[in-house]
Structure 1
Amino acid sequence: MQEVLLKKIVGKQPWSGVLLLRHLGLRPSSNMHLHVVSFDIPWPANYGGVMVVFHQLRALHRLGARIVLHSFEYGGRTPQPILEEYCEAVHYYPRSRSLWQQVSIEPFIVRTRKSGTLLHRLLQDEYPILFEGLHTAGWLAHEALRKRHKIVRMHNIEWQYYRQLAQSAPSLTQRLFFEMESLRLRRAEARLLPFADDVLALSPSERDYFARYPVRTHYLPAFHPYDAVCSLPGSGQYALFHGKCSVPDNERAALWLIEDVFAGLPVPLVVAGMAPSARLRTAAARQPNVRLVADPDNAQMEALIRQAHVHLLYSFQSAGVKLKLLQALFGGRHCVANDYALAGTALHPLCVRANTAAETRHAVLSLMAQPFKESDIAHRRAVLEAHYSNEHNARLLLAIVAGLYEPSTAERV
Structure 2
Amino acid sequence: MKELHLISFNYPYPPSYGGIIDVYYKIKALSDLGVKIHLHCFVDSIPETIDQEVKNITENVFFYKKKKNPLHYFSAVPFAAAIRTSEALFDNLMRIKAPVLFEGLQTACIIRKLKGYGCKLYLRFHNNETEYYKGLSFSEKNIFKKIIYRIESIKYAGYQKKLLKEFECVFCLSEKEFKEVDSYSKNAELTHIFHGNGSVKYLGKKGKYFLFHGDLSTSDNKRALDETILLFKNLPQHQLVVASDRTGDHLKKKIKSLANISLVPIETTQNLRLLFENAHANILLSYQNSGTKVKLFNALYNSRFVIINQNITDDHTLMGLCRFGSTPDEIYQQIIETATADYTENEMRSEVLEKNYSDDSKAKEMVTIIFKD
Q: TM-score, normalised by structure 2?
A: 0.95
Q: How does 1:237-252 map to 2 (within 5 A)?
A: 237-252=208-223
Tell me which stretches of 4 or more aligned residues in structure 1 moved more than 6 Å: 75-78
DSSP 3-state at the match of 1:371: coil
DSSP 3-state at the match of 2:95: coil
> How large is the Cα RMSD of the aligned pairs?
1.8
Inter-CA distance 78–316: structure 2 relative to 1 (3 Å threshold): farther
Shift of 1:215: 4.9
DSSP 3-state at the match of 1:328: helix
Alpha-carbon distance between aligned partners in 2 of 1:355 and 1:231, rounded to the nearest angstrom: 29
Q: Which is bigger in relative contact order (C-alpha 8 A, separation at least 6)?
A: 1
Question: Could you tell me whether the CA contact under 8 Å between 2:210 and 2:283 is conserved in 1?
Answer: yes
2:357 alignment counterpart? 388
Alpha-carbon distance between aligned partners in 1 of 2:200 and 2:95, rounded to the nearest angstrom: 41
1:14 alignment counterpart? none
Does 2:207 match 1:236? yes
Question: Could you tell me whether the CA contact under 8 Å between 2:68 and 2:83 is conserved in 1?
Answer: yes
Alpha-carbon distance between aligned partners in 1 of 2:316 and 2:67, rounded to the nearest angstrom: 35
Deviations 1:205-258 (A, max 9, x none): 211101134352100011002011124223211111112211111110011101
Q: How does 1:21-170 map to 2 (within 5 A)?
A: 31-74=1-44, 79-81=49-51, 82-143=53-114, 145-170=116-141
Shift of 1:76: 9.5
Inter-CA distance 203–331: structure 2 relative to 1 (3 Å threshold): same
Give 2:187's match in structure 1, choosing from 213, 216, 222. 216
2:369 alignment counterpart? 400
Give the % identical residues. 28
Deviations 1:269-321 (A, max 9, x none): 11122422222222211211111224532221122122211011111121132
Question: Could you tell me whether the CA contact under 8 Å between 1:44 and 1:298 is conserved in 2?
Answer: no
Question: Could you tell me whether the CA contact under 8 Å between 2:45 and 2:65 is conserved in 1?
Answer: no
Alpha-carbon distance between aligned partners in 2 of 1:231 and 1:95, rounded to the nearest angstrom: 43
Question: Could you tell me whether the CA contact under 8 Å between 2:176 and 2:291 is conserved in 1?
Answer: no
Question: Could you tell me whether the CA contact under 8 Å between 1:71 and 1:92 is conserved in 2?
Answer: yes
Shift of 1:57: 1.1
Inter-CA distance 306–169: structure 2 relative to 1 (3 Å threshold): same
Question: Could you tell me whether the CA contact under 8 Å between 2:171 and 2:191 is conserved in 1?
Answer: yes
Alpha-carbon distance between aligned partners in 2 of 1:80 and 1:309, rounded to the nearest angstrom: 38
Give 2:253's match in structure 1, choosing from 282, 286, 292. 282
- Aligned residue-pair number: 372
Deviations 1:301-350 (A, max 9, x none): 12212221101111112113211111101111011111122334531211
Alpha-carbon distance between aligned partners in 1 of 2:258 and 2:270, rounded to the nearest angstrom: 26
1:378 alignment counterpart? 347
Deviations 1:351-370 (A, max 9, x none): 11123333323322322222
Alpha-carbon distance between aligned partners in 2 of 1:191 and 1:162, rounded to the nearest angstrom: 18
Does 2:162 match 1:188? no
Inter-CA distance 207–287: structure 2 relative to 1 (3 Å threshold): same
Inter-CA distance 105–78: structure 2 relative to 1 (3 Å threshold): farther
Deviations 1:97-149 (A, max 9, x none): 33122121111110111121111111112200000001111111225555111
One-letter code aligned to 2:163: L
Question: Could you tell me whether the CA contact under 8 Å between 2:197 and 2:301 is conserved in 1?
Answer: yes
Q: TM-score, normalised by structure 1?
A: 0.86
One-letter code aligned to 2:188: T
Provide structure 2 residue ranges, at least 5 long, that are not aligned to the other structure: none
Per mean C-alpha deviation after superposition, the further-off stretch among 295-304 and 119-128 is 295-304
Does 2:230 match 1:253? no
DSSP 3-state at the match of 1:347: helix
Give 1:355's match in structure 2, choosing from 320, 323, 326. 326
DSSP 3-state at the match of 1:301: helix
Alpha-carbon distance between aligned partners in 1 of 2:364 and 2:334, rounded to the nearest angstrom: 38
Provide structure 1 residue ranges, at least 5 long, that are not aligned to the other structure: 1-30, 405-413
Inter-CA distance 78–366: structure 2 relative to 1 (3 Å threshold): farther
DSSP 3-state at the match of 1:342: coil
Inter-CA distance 143–352: structure 2 relative to 1 (3 Å threshold): closer
One-letter code aligned to 2:297: L
